[in-house]
Chains A and B, each alone.
Chain A
Amino acid sequence: GEDVEQSLFLSVREGDSSVINCTYTDSSSTYLYWYKQEPGAGLQLLTYIFSNMDMKQDQRLTVLLNKKDKHLSLCIADTQTGDSAIYFCAESPLSGNTGKLIFGQGTTLQVKP
């Protein structure tokens, strides 16, 4: 089946690290994505990881993938108030692949000054 789960809310203080978690069910997923959505806006592609990788780092962002447990994390170092947004995890299932993305329900990140 296709399902992506995320915790709904995370609150951190400015300067701390944030860790947003996601679990998915489709073991055939080839790519896993993180998107950021600010209020009233569209989705901004932050980063993605191929399923044969364990980790990917891009400036303040680190993506960790545990394929055995189907667990994906987005780590944001030195979190800033501008990072406050909703973060969506998405998988791209290979089975019956037609390119669609399956999204989680989003994690609201609140950064306190």
Chain B
Amino acid sequence: NAGVMQNPRHLVRRRGQEARLRCSPMKGHSHVYWYRQLPEEGLKFMVYLQKENIIDESGMPKERFSAEFPKEGPSILRIQQVVRGDSAAYFCASSKYEGREQFFGPGTRLTVL
């Protein structure tokens, strides 16, 4: 049973470009969460999705960030017009039941030049 998969593992973008981060949850998991980890800090919640629905986006910046979890395919975290402050590790987690036992992917490390 494969774990949570994220790609790419590393992503380099120039200021103003778009970043797309993908997350495939564990098999049988329909709850997906995105977290951001800034250097030397803990993880901060961004958004919680179930299939085709955004349940909680209270941690998402109001502008430039969006997330989706379509009926088919991985969850996508999209960052438009990236700025240097977006440089961070972005982790996806999935769970079988809401809020319980979240299993994390290896993360995508975004560097904005």
- A residues at B contact (CB < 8 Å): 4, 30-31, 33, 35, 41-45, 48, 88, 92, 97-106
Contact = CB atoms under 8 A, between A and B. Distances in A.
Given A98-B55, A99-B31, A100-B48, A43 B91 contact: yes
Interface of B: 4, 31, 33, 35, 41-45, 48, 55-56, 58-59, 91, 93, 95, 98-107
A14 B41 CA distance: 26
Given A31-B99, A48-B101, A99 B33 contact: yes
A31 B100 contact: yes
A105 B42 contact: yes
7 contacts: A42-B104, A97-B98, A98-B56, A99-B95, A99-B102, A101-B35, A103-B42
A92 B106 CA distance: 21
Contacts of A100: 33, 45, 48, 56, 58-59, 99
Given A41-B106, A42-B106, A101 B45 contact: yes
B41 A102 contact: no
A103 B41 CA distance: 10
Given A31-B99, A92-B99, A101-B102, A43 B55 contact: no
Nearest to B4: A42
Contacts of A102: 45
B99 A106 contact: no
Nearest to B56: A98
B101 A45 contact: yes
Given A42-B107, A44-B104, 11 more contacts: A42-B105, A45-B104, A92-B99, A97-B98, A98-B56, A98-B98, A99-B56, A99-B99, A101-B33, A103-B42, A104-B42
A45 B43 contact: no
Contacts of A33: 102
A33 to B, nearest CB: 8
A14 B99 CA distance: 35
A44 B43 CA distance: 13
B55 A99 contact: yes
A42 B44 CA distance: 14
